[in-house]
Structure 1
Amino acid sequence: MARLDVRETLHNISFPGHLHTQDSLNYAINFPFRDTDTLIATYPKSGTTWMQGIVTAIENRGDPHLSKTVPNWTRAPWLEQYYSPGVLEASHGHRIITTHLPYQLLANALQDSKAKIIYVIRNPRDVVVSYYYFHKMANFLPDPNSFDEFLDEFLEGKVSYGSWFDHVKGWTSQAGVLANFFCISYEEMWLDLQGCMKRISSFLECPLVDEELARSLKQCSFSSMRDNPMVNYTQVPNEIMDHSKGHFMRKGKIGDWRNTFTEVQIDHFDNVYSSQMQNCPITFLSE
C-alpha cells in the first residue's frame, strides 16, 4: 500500500494516504475501547516513540526483549492507520494503542471507557522544527519547501493531522473529565526521565522496583532508542522514508528550535500562539 501522493480527509483534517484510508479513519473513531487498554495520544513529533518505549518498558518491568524484537508500530499500533484492525483484533488482554487523532474525533469512542490515556505535549516551537525535518525524509508527506512556508502552514493548521492548537486544547480540556487521564510534557521527561517514569508507572498501576526501573531507564534513553532498529524506523524502505535525507530520531533535545527560527518568525509565532492559547494556560520550557 504505497499511495504516497494520496491524502485522506476527515472532518477537514488531512491525513497521509500511505497510512490511512477512509475505512481506517472510521474504524478509529468508532473503536470499541476496552477498559484494560492504554492509549498514548500525541500530536506528531511530540514524543510519541519515546512514550511507546516507556510504556512498553514499564509493562514488561524493564525486560528489553519485546522492545528489541518487535517494531513499535506493532506493539503499540496507531489506531487510525490501515493495518491496526488486524493487529488489535488479534490482541488479547492488555493493549497499548497509539493515536495522533484529536480528542474531538475520539470523544464518542472514549465517552464511557475506563481505558488509561497518556497525553504527551511538547513545546510547539520544537514540534514544528522536528515536523519540518520529518517532512523532508518522509516521502508520504508533502515536500515542505522552505521552513518559512512550513511554519505558516503549521500555524494555520494546514499540515497533516491538523492544528496543533486544536489538538492540545482538545486533549488537555479532558484533564479531570475523562477517567484515567494523565498528561505529561516532553520537557519533563527530558529533564527528569526517572521521576517521570515513576509517575507513569504509578498511573499504570505497575510500580517498578529499583532494578526494573534501572533497566527501563537504560532502554528508554535517547541513544538506546536511536540505535534500536525496532524504534528508529531504519527498517522502513527508502522509497517510504529517505534515510539519506535525515534521521527519524534527529536530536531529541529541548530548545533546539532556536537554531532554526529567525527573529521575525519568533515574533510571528508568538503572536499566533498568544491569540490561539489565551484560554489555555500551558507553559513550556524553551531552553
Structure 2
Amino acid sequence: TAEEPAAVRMSDLGMKMDLPRPEMFDFHGVTMVHYFTDSWDKVQNFQARPDDILIATYPKAGTTWGSLILDLLYFGKTSPERQTSIPIYDRVPFLEIYIPSVKSGIDQAESLPTTPRIIKTHFPVQFVPKSFWEQNCKMVYVARNAKDNMVSYFHFDRMNMVQPDPGDWNSYFHRFMEGKLVFGSWYDHVNNWWKKKQTYSNIHYMFYEDMIEDTGREIDKLCSFLGLSPSAEEKNQITGGVQFDNMKKNKMANYSTIPVMDFKISPFMRKGKVGDWKNHFTVAQNEEFDEDYKKKMKDLTLQFRTEI
C-alpha cells in the first residue's frame, strides 16, 4: 500500500483546495459538519497543560482578533519574527479542525513550540475537552451581537469551502434563528459560556462591540485577567497592530494565505463594523428577529449592543 503523504501545514498549500462543501448533521444535539467532528475522539482526549490558553467564540465573533491580541501579548516582544513569517492560524491552531492531508488542529496544538500554547475553538462549552477544566486553564471568550454575527457568518459561508453553502439571505436568516448553522445555535453558545463563567472563574468574557469602542481599554482588562503587565509602548504597539484596517492588510492575520477560502467571493475580514446588519435586515426581518430574540435571551445579565 502507498504510504500516506505527510500532513502539511495549511499555509504550505499553495494551491486552492478543491474541497466538496460539507453537509450539516446533528451531532450530540449541535449542528455540525464532518470537518469538525472527524477527529472527535482525539480532540476529547487532548491533554491540556495548566498554562494553555483557550480562545473560544461562536464563528465570526472576533476569533482572529482575540487570537492576534493574545499572541502579541505573549510573543510580540520576544519573537517578533513570528509576526511576519507565521500565519495566525499556525500560531493559534484551531483545535477541532480536521481536513485530510492537512495537519489537523490537534496535531498542530500538540506540536506547538510556545509556552503558553494559545489554542482556539468554536466549540459550544459542553464540547470543550475535559482536560482544559481539570487543568484550570484560562479561557477567553469573545461574543458579538447576534445581528452582526449573523451577517458576518453569512458572508463567511459564501467564501469558505469547508462550510456548507449558505443559500440565500432570507433562508440563512431563518436558519440562524433556528440554530441550524455549523456550531449550532448562537443563543445557546453565548448563553452557555456566560453561564459557565459564573461557576468557573478562569473565563474572561469579552464583547466585540466593547473592543471596537475602546480596544486599549479591553486589552487592559484582558491583561489584568492574564496577569500580564506590558509597557505602555508595547500596549500602544499591540493596540495599533490589531486595528481592523491593519489586520485586514496583514497577510499573516487576514487568512489570504489559506487555500480553502475564495477571496473573490468575499474577503475573510470584510468590514469589522458594529451595525452592518442594517444593510442586510429588512424592516420585517428586524421585527421578526427582535420578537424571537426576546424569547431566547432569558438571562438579562447578558446584554448585547447592536450599535455603538
Match of 1:87 in 2: 108
CA–CA distance in structure 2, aligned partners of residues 7 and 26 of structure 1: 20
Match of 1:47 in 2: 62
Structure 1 runs of 4+ off > 4 angstroms? 61-64
- TM-score, structure 2 length as denominator? 0.86
CA shift digits 1:95-134 (9 cap, x unpaired): 0010000001127344322211001011010000001111
Match of 1:244 in 2: 264
Bigger mean CA deviation after superposition, 193-202 or 55-64: 55-64
CA–CA distance in structure 2, aligned partners of residues 176 and 278 of structure 1: 16
Match of 2:128 in 1: 106
Residue among 279, 286, 295 paired with 1:266: 286
CA–CA distance in structure 2, aligned partners of residues 204 and 7 of structure 1: 39
CA–CA distance in structure 2, aligned partners of residues 228 and 170 of structure 1: 33
Note if 1:134 corresponds to 2:156: yes
Note if 1:25 corresponds to 2:40: yes
Q: What SS class does the counterpart of residue 199 from structure 2 fall into?
A: coil
Q: What SS class does the counterpart of residue 41 from structure 1 fall into?
A: strand
CA–CA distance in structure 2, aligned partners of residues 170 and 109 of structure 1: 19
For structure 2, the 5+ residue unaligned runs are 1-16, 99-103
The aligned amino acid for 2:28 is H
CA–CA distance in structure 2, aligned partners of residues 13 and 73 of structure 1: 24
Match of 1:66 in 2: 82
Deviation at residue 271 of structure 1 after TM alignment:
1.4
CA shift digits 1:44-93 (9 cap, x unpaired): 01000100111011112556432322111111111111212221222353
CA–CA distance in structure 2, aligned partners of residues 106 and 169 of structure 1: 15
- TM-score, structure 1 length as denominator? 0.92
CA–CA distance in structure 1, aligned partners of residues 197 and 184 of structure 2: 21
CA–CA distance in structure 2, aligned partners of residues 185 and 274 of structure 1: 19
Deviation at residue 280 of structure 1 after TM alignment:
4.7
CA–CA distance in structure 1, aligned partners of residues 168 and 124 of structure 2: 27
For structure 1, the 5+ residue unaligned runs are none
CA shift digits 1:127-165 (9 cap, x unpaired): 000011111111222222221100100110111110111
Deviation at residue 213 of structure 1 after TM alignment:
0.7
The alignment covers a number of residue pairs equal to: 283
CA–CA distance in structure 2, aligned partners of residues 107 and 273 of structure 1: 30
CA–CA distance in structure 2, aligned partners of residues 109 and 21 of structure 1: 18
Deviation at residue 176 of structure 1 after TM alignment:
3.2
Change (3 A) 1:97 1:107: closer
CA–CA distance in structure 1, aligned partners of residues 267 and 213 of structure 2: 23
CA–CA distance in structure 2, aligned partners of residues 286 and 13 of structure 1: 26
CA–CA distance in structure 2, aligned partners of residues 73 and 187 of structure 1: 23
Residue among 211, 216, 227 paired with 1:189: 211
Match of 2:4 in 1: none
The aligned amino acid for 1:125 is K
Bigger mean CA deviation after superposition, 95-104 or 141-150: 141-150
Bigger mean CA deviation after superposition, 165-174 or 63-72: 63-72
CA–CA distance in structure 1, aligned partners of residues 125 and 118 of structure 2: 17
Q: What SS class does the counterpart of residue 271 from structure 1 fall into?
A: helix
Change (3 A) 1:27 1:280: farther
| Equivalent runs, 1:147-226 vs 2, <5 Å | 147-226=169-248
CA–CA distance in structure 2, aligned partners of residues 164 and 33 of structure 1: 26
Deviation at residue 27 of structure 1 after TM alignment:
2.2
Contact 1:4 1:16 in 2 (8 A): no
